[in-house]
Amino acid sequence: MQPNNVFSLSRMWLYLRKEVIDQYKVFLFGTGALVAGCCLFGLIAFISANPYRETFELADMMPLYMTLLLAFTALMASRSFNQLSKPERSIDFFLLPASHLEKFLAQLIISMLAVIVVFNLAIFIGVQFFSYLATHYKNVTVSMDFDRFFPGPFSVGIVLLMVAGINSIFLFGATFFHKFALPKIFFLFIVIMMGIWALNIGFTNLIFAGHIASWNASAPFSVVGVIEPGSTAGHQLSTGYFVPEWLGRPLLFIAKYLLTPALWTMAYFRIADKEIQ
């Protein structure tokens, strides 16, 4: 029988198990630090809480939750291929009998699914700790308003898309940088974003020369601020020209659903094409 050289669920499970056991100390330490950090945060929140406040709402923590979730996702995704930082570890990685796809998917599972589970568990423990302190020592109620936790534009689906997006950016970056990957990828990401912004400013100033409200009155892929005809030097009227819907919708679709898988695919091929010198 021809062996499956591309994907075998049992082999990927073996690989996933190997990765977790190989790094169990790092994972345990990371999980412990995260739980301890969340409990510490709960304690700080308890100490610094307004003494006259009678109720605390969980939904108030949403911005902090999102920031920490995305930061933790970025950290774990940037560590995905740190074994490629040394030739001997790279040899171990590439010569282990599993396909590139299985190895890549295993890293994706660890850096995304495991991160979401561990992070939410740690946050849950931190919140329970805060809730216990607040109800027992300050006599206040903590409202577990999970239904309001992901409001309006931040539905669970969108949050997951954001996590996947950050994961794909840092996972792709991890195929380039193996040591101190997080700051390097973050810096490069900022540079690329600034580059896109600068390119956009260049184009909009060229296209709307003399009509643009100010040199930086534009946002890439979305809007340009243009001076309306009839404006005078003392009284300037400007209008924001948004991309038309027929273009905006595909752009939004690409940003939401295509960019992330495209980055994952490129990361996969970069790993498959890597040589050890």
Which residues contact other proteins by CB under 8 A? 3-5, 8, 11, 14, 17-18, 21-25, 83, 86-92, 94-100, 102, 275-277
The CB-of-28 to other proteins minimum distance in angstroms stands at: 12
Nearest to 223 by CA among 208, 209, 235: 208
- The answer to whether 65 touches 123, Cβ cutoff 8 Å, is yes
- Shortest separation between residue 81's beta carbon and other proteins, angstroms: 14
Q: Of 147 and 273, which CB lies nearer to other proteins in the complex structure?
A: 273
State the amino acid at position 250 in one-letter form: P
CB of 3 to other proteins, least distance (A): 4
- CB-nearer residue toward other proteins: 99 or 200: 99
Q: From the CB of 173, what's the least distance to other proteins, in Å?
A: 23
By C-beta, is 20 or 75 nearer to other proteins? 20
Instruction: Between 14 and 223, name the residue whose CB sits nearer to other proteins.
Output: 14
Measured over the CA atoms of residue 216, residue 217, residue 220 and residue 226, the dihedral's sign is negative
Q: Which is nearer to other proteins, 178 or 225 (CB)?
A: 178
Minimum distance, C-beta of residue 99 to other proteins, in the bound complex (Å):
5
DSSP state of 142: E
N-to-C CA span, the chain: 34
CB of 121 to other proteins, least distance (A): 25
Q: Which is nearer to other proteins, 17 or 249 (CB)?
A: 17
Residue 35 burial (CB count, 10 A): 18
List the structure tokens of 74. Answer: 């970025």
b (16+ CB within 10 A) / e for 126-160: bbebbbebbeeeeebebeeeeeebbeeeeeeeebe
Measured CA angle at 211 (ends 208, 213), to 5 deg: 105
